[in-house]
């Protein structure tokens, strides 16, 4: 499903008791999406299944954050991250994501599981300028590959300068 959506300035919210849940295969294709996910994203479960999870990626999100996320997961570790997503209509919503690898009985990673909760507004406010700076770095390069590498360098330098991991940074804000 090739989807071209223009972002709006409309923010969507979900209830603090709700949890957005999805599962993906090793390539990031959605294998499960709960009702909260479907409702907020504006897609039916049938429309989401088999689609890349990036179907809800908001263009304000720096790609380097997703590189960090995928590198961490592919290393067999969990990650916590604040993510701005985009619905089918172009509206946006922020989530506090906890993403984990899923393992088979032999300890091999076979997919990924994500729970997303209502984010802390103060953390969003603290991260928005950081994400905007990373996005500017990515967009200032000659091509997407160089942009991703430059953004990732800036992200890792920023986190390292704080003398903590990305997860620790997110929880410290």
Cβ neighbours of residue 167 closer than 8 Å, sequence gap 6 or more: 79, 80
- Domain spanning 20-172: which CATH class is it, in words? alpha beta
Residue 86 parent element (H or E): strand 79-86
Question: Has residue 1 got a pLDDT over 80?
Answer: no
38-88 residue pLDDT tens: 999 999 999 999 999 999 999 999 999 999 999 999 999 999 999 999 999
Give the pLDDT band of residue 5 (cuts 50, 70, 90).
confident
| CA nearest neighbour of 81 among 127, 46, 35 | 127
Strand partners, 156: none
| CA nearest neighbour of 16 among 100, 162, 121 | 121
**Dihedral of the alpha carbons of 157, 162, 165, 169, in degrees to the nearest 10:** -120
pLDDT above 90 covers what percent of the chain?
93
123-141 residue pLDDT tens: 999 999 999 999 999 999 9
pLDDT for the residue 4 = 77
């Amino acid at each position: 499903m090739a989807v071209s959506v223009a972002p709006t300035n409309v923010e969507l919210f979900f209830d603090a008791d709700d949890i957005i849940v999805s599962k993906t295969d090793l390539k990031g294709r959605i294998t499960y999406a709960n009702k909260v996910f479907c409702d907020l994203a504006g897609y039916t479960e049938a429309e989401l299944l088999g689609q890349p999870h990036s179907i809800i990626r908001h263009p304000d999100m720096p790609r380097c954050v997703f590189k960090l996320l995928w590198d961490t997961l592919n290393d067999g570790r969990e990650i916590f991250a604040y993510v701005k997503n985009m619905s089918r209509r172009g509206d946006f919503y922020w989530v506090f994501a906890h993403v984990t690898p899923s393992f088979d009985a032999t300890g091999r990673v076979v997919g990924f599981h994500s729970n997303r909760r209502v984010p802390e507004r103060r953390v969003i406010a603290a991260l928005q300028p950081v994400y905007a700076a990373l996005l500017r770095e990515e967009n200032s390069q000659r091509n997407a590959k160089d942009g991703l590498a430059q953004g990732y360098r800036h992200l890792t330098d920023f986190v390292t300068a704080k003398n903590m991991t990305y997860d620790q940074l997110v929880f410290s804000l």
